[in-house]
Structure 1
Amino acid sequence: MKITNLKTAIIYESKLTRRNWLFYLFIVGGMYILGTLIPGVFILGIGWISWQDIALTSSLPLRGIYFLSLFQSLIITFLVCDIQRNRKKAETREVLLTRPISNGQTLLGEAIGILIPFLTIDIIFMTISMIINIFIPNSPVSLWINLFYLFTYTVPTLIFITSLSILANKLVKHPIFSWLILMAFLYLEYNYAATAFYGILDFQGRLLPNSFSTLIGFMDLSSFLLHRGVFLLLGISFLYFSVLLMKRLPGIAGRQRYLAVLAMLFLAFSLCLGFIYIEKYQSRLENRITCRKAFLKYTETPKTRVITHDITYRPEGNTFSATSRMQIQNQKKRKWTNSCYSLTRG
């Protein structure tokens, strides 16, 4: 019965999302992104293709996903606020309130019902993008890279912005005010969050090292996955908090406590991942500062020039030994006892 009720809620919400004019606007926007950002879709888009557009396997997928996710976030905030505005009137969703369905199932059905149509368009968008990528000469293509970006880039962003929009509408009762708050959040996030705290506040991860090359793979996969995991867990926690804010009586007494515990757990896990992410970049920053101090320390030390440098390498089973013989020259007119030199000539 519980699965049937959840399925019914998902079907209702999915149908109402597909019928909303904002969803059709999103489809038109996706077609426009394909036509203008990916070469060769429309006749007007055919032209000279720069090397950086196709150099890496991830070049075309990342460029399309970036603009699609940006536009998708804007549409979802409008859509969720529009849904809350329609709830003030008697409409199709009223039939769900008469069923023995819990608050969690109601809100989960609403979230999944919104996610499914948008995720379907995302998959179609990436499929068309990959097909276009195949027909571009000298452009590497990988199905697995497209799937990887779908589950690690698109899905966390979609879950986070949907849950955040639902939570904002639960906290602020009037849809227009919740929409203004969400618009202000998107504006600040787009203009300032990308560089703050190494990008941990940017839910889209625009400046993350997320490129993929067939030669070296991902540049920093662990940091990328940590960042995406933060917003995936944060989105799930927002969804649990939204259930707690529903005014409808719960189906089972006492369940609110368990929902509060789950919400706090997901929030805590998200904060832990964020701390690990920041700590990694902080450690790298400290290493750079140490190297800079060492360089400045030896700046005033007399420099010598390496004339010859011979290295004799001897393999010895599982180990090896090496002997280095170097001839250096003092190019200054004064004597010195300590000096530093560079192994790279020039």
Structure 2
Amino acid sequence: MRKTFDNIRLIARYERRLIARGKLFWIFMICVLVGITGFQWLWQGGGRWGISSWAEVALPSYIPYLNAWLYSLVQGIMVIFVGVDFVRRDRRLETNVVFLSRPVTNTIYQTGKVLGILEVCLLMNVLTMACGMGVHLLFGEPGTFQPGIYLIYMVVLTIPSLIFVLGLGLIIVNQIKNHALAILVLFALLGAFYFGTGEILWGVFDPWGRALPLLFSDVTGLAKPAWTVLQRGIFMLSGIGFILLAVGMMKRLSDRSRVIRIIRGFGIVFILAGVFDGFLYVGKFQGINARREMYREVFQKYAGVDNVHVKTHDIRFRQAGERMYVTSELVLENERTNRLKNPILYLNPGLQVTSLRDREENTVPFTREGQVVIVDRELDSGEELNLRMEYEGFIDEAVCYPDFTDKEFHDTRLVLFSRRPHQFFRHGWCYARVGDDYTFLVPECLWYPVSVPTVNILSPLTRRYDFTRYTLHVENVGERTAISQGNMNVKENVASFENRNPLPRLSLSLGHYEKKSIVLDSLEMDIFRGMIFLNEIIR
């Protein structure tokens, strides 16, 4: 076993030296380092001459992301011209005849070759990252430099692209004997991927992951980590499968046919795993769209139903991880002149109602249809009904903004102040979040029961409001700070918010914030800051 690893390392080292001896490699390396560094300096650094703005460097992930994205794009060209060139060298120049004449198996030989190419590309990646860090330290916003983000983008963005392009290149050059034609075919495939697959099925065919929300937040991390893992896994698994198939394409006497069949079998398994991963990725979006269509139909079904008025609403909120436990005490009032049958309440469909009782602690029957809770109780004109509703579960973001098209809902582009989407950055949308580190709940996610939906699905520009006197109690705040509407009072690890006047809606943010206050003409103004780079800016 040790001899096997020694042979792999020997072949990898020899391949690195062969690549480093080529003039094309040095020309390419200089162009990549100077080109990417110069572009970032012009676009995000002190030499931008008005090309860009503060929005290009505001977040800690802006400079690392652009650095990784540019390198992942140009490394494909390097792999085509420099990496897979060893196949041509083996055929014509016999640069590796010293290994071909020895009993080194295809697996060892190809593994050493691929390892040598990967090491050269990763070294280039590290050098590019170092140049990006230099731009970041010299011209970035104070307090935004975080070297860990560079490593995250290296793993998530550049390595899967490298594995896929290398595997695809090895397949093509092994199948097409004419090297010039093979290069042309590879460029045609990469061009088709780049210009034709960016937005198709939410980027499932895009090796560079341009549709993914990859901007990294200090507070929430990646917006959609599950999407990222699935999409990048497609090309990581497929690339490994292509490389294994390429191993089986090498015709050498030192491997037995059984070994070749096993290697090819593993290659097919990895490719099928990548395809299955792609179906899982697309299935996530299709599942969200199917639920959104169902929720739209429910909104439309009950759009013309008479609404009950929520007079007062006392909410007691508690969370454990991503799961929330809430108790709502509501006073419903029929303000209409006619008798109201079966009052309607709207609640996020991911939250399960575990109990519904009246003032006398009698169980009130109800039925559930998606986001609608239908209370089985009639109310005369002017009559009030006290309800105590207990519910728990996870937030389903698919119910948010039903007036958006599915394309708008999944659009991950960063929209600038000019309302134009950014050319590179994709932050994605997080419509609600519940977690130990950070919680953010807005009315659009229906995290508490309301009688009037936040969107009029029949006429989105005509919105209706139900003004309610809210009281909110957030339990187990710990060292975190709770932010909501109303006068705040913290006592015994419970943050309470009381509102003197009725409000149309209620929001909640819970995280590690630092409070700063200023009094202007007897008016106290508070600002809560939580992210490191904002601390530096606001200071």
TM-score range, shorter chain: 0.7 to 0.9
Q: 2:229 matched to which residue of 1?
A: 225
Does the CA-based 8 Å contact 1:76-1:162 persist in structure 2? Answer: yes
Q: 2:358 matched to which residue of 1?
A: none
The root-mean-square deviation of aligned C-alpha atoms, in Å, is 3.0
What SS does the aligned partner of 1:122 have? Answer: helix
What SS does the aligned partner of 2:93 have? Answer: coil
Matching of residues 155-170 of structure 1 within 5 Å = 155-170=159-174
Does the CA-based 8 Å contact 1:314-1:322 persist in structure 2? Answer: yes
Distance in 2 (alpha carbons) for counterparts of 1:6 and 1:322: 65
Point out the more displaced range, 233-242 or 334-343.
Answer: 334-343
Q: 1:283 matched to which residue of 2?
A: 287
What SS does the aligned partner of 2:60 have? Answer: coil
Q: 2:444 matched to which residue of 1?
A: none
Task: Identify which of 89, 94, 97 aligns with 1:94.
Answer: 97
Task: Identify which of 14, 18, 21 aligns with 1:19.
Answer: 21
Q: 1:190 matched to which residue of 2?
A: 194
For the structure 1 residues 55 and 180, does the alpha-carbon distance in structure 2 shift closer, same or farther, using more than 3 Å as the test? same
For the structure 1 residues 172 and 339, does the alpha-carbon distance in structure 2 shift closer, same or farther, using more than 3 Å as the test? same
2:320 equivalent to 1:210: no
Deviation at 1:36, TM superposition (A): 1.5
2:328 equivalent to 1:322: yes
What SS does the aligned partner of 1:312 have? Answer: strand
For residues 204-252 of structure 1, the C-alpha deviation after alignment (integer angstroms, 9 at most, x for no partner) is: 1111122211122210111101211221111111111011111222334
For residues 298-344 of structure 1, the C-alpha deviation after alignment (integer angstroms, 9 at most, x for no partner) is: 45x166696x732134689x9764321245756xx999978975265
Distance in 1 (alpha carbons) for counterparts of 2:44 and 2:305: 61
Distance in 2 (alpha carbons) for counterparts of 1:281 and 1:84: 40
Task: Identify which of 249, 255, 263 aligns with 1:251.
Answer: 255
Distance in 2 (alpha carbons) for counterparts of 1:262 and 1:101: 20
Does the CA-based 8 Å contact 1:133-1:139 persist in structure 2? Answer: no
Does the CA-based 8 Å contact 1:244-1:256 persist in structure 2? Answer: yes
Q: 2:183 matched to which residue of 1?
A: 179
Deviation at 1:119, TM superposition (A): 0.7
What SS does the aligned partner of 1:99 have? Answer: coil
Distance in 1 (alpha carbons) for counterparts of 2:314 and 2:183: 70
2:39 equivalent to 1:36: yes
Task: Identify which of 124, 127, 141 aligns with 2:127.
Answer: 124
Matching of residues 143-154 of structure 1 within 5 Å = 143-154=147-158
Distance in 2 (alpha carbons) for counterparts of 1:60 and 1:334: 62
For the structure 1 residues 179 and 334, does the alpha-carbon distance in structure 2 shift closer, same or farther, using more than 3 Å as the test? farther
Amino acid at match of 1:29: V
Distance in 2 (alpha carbons) for counterparts of 1:169 and 1:162: 11
For the structure 1 residues 326 and 50, does the alpha-carbon distance in structure 2 shift closer, same or farther, using more than 3 Å as the test? farther
For residues 37-68 of structure 1, the C-alpha deviation after alignment (integer angstroms, 9 at most, x for no partner) is: 24589874466752332232221111111111
Report which structure shows greater RCO (CA 8 Å, sep ≥6): 1
Q: 1:310 matched to which residue of 2?
A: 312
Question: Tell me, which stretches of 5 or more residues in structure 2 are unaligned?
Answer: 345-450, 455-464, 466-503, 505-539
Task: Identify which of 43, 61, 65 aligns with 1:62.
Answer: 65
Distance in 1 (alpha carbons) for counterparts of 2:317 and 2:202: 44
For the structure 1 residues 30 and 295, does the alpha-carbon distance in structure 2 shift closer, same or farther, using more than 3 Å as the test? farther
What SS does the aligned partner of 1:212 have? Answer: coil
Higher strand share: 2
Does the CA-based 8 Å contact 2:89-2:95 persist in structure 1? Answer: no
Task: Identify which of 197, 202, 205 aligns with 1:201.
Answer: 205
Distance in 1 (alpha carbons) for counterparts of 2:311 and 2:293: 30
What SS does the aligned partner of 1:254 have? Answer: helix
What SS does the aligned partner of 1:88 have? Answer: helix
Does the CA-based 8 Å contact 2:245-2:264 persist in structure 1? Answer: yes
2:107 equivalent to 1:107: no
Q: 2:270 matched to which residue of 1?
A: 266
Deviation at 1:195, TM superposition (A): 1.5
Does the CA-based 8 Å contact 1:194-1:207 persist in structure 2? Answer: yes
Higher helix share: 1
Distance in 1 (alpha carbons) for counterparts of 2:236 and 2:22: 26
For residues 234-279 of structure 1, the C-alpha deviation after alignment (integer angstroms, 9 at most, x for no partner) is: 1111111011111222334521122122212222322222222122
The structure whose Rg is larger is: 2
2:452 equivalent to 1:342: yes
Amino acid at match of 2:81: F
Identity %: 26
For the structure 1 residues 54 and 79, does the alpha-carbon distance in structure 2 shift closer, same or farther, using more than 3 Å as the test? same
Does the CA-based 8 Å contact 1:111-1:163 persist in structure 2? Answer: no
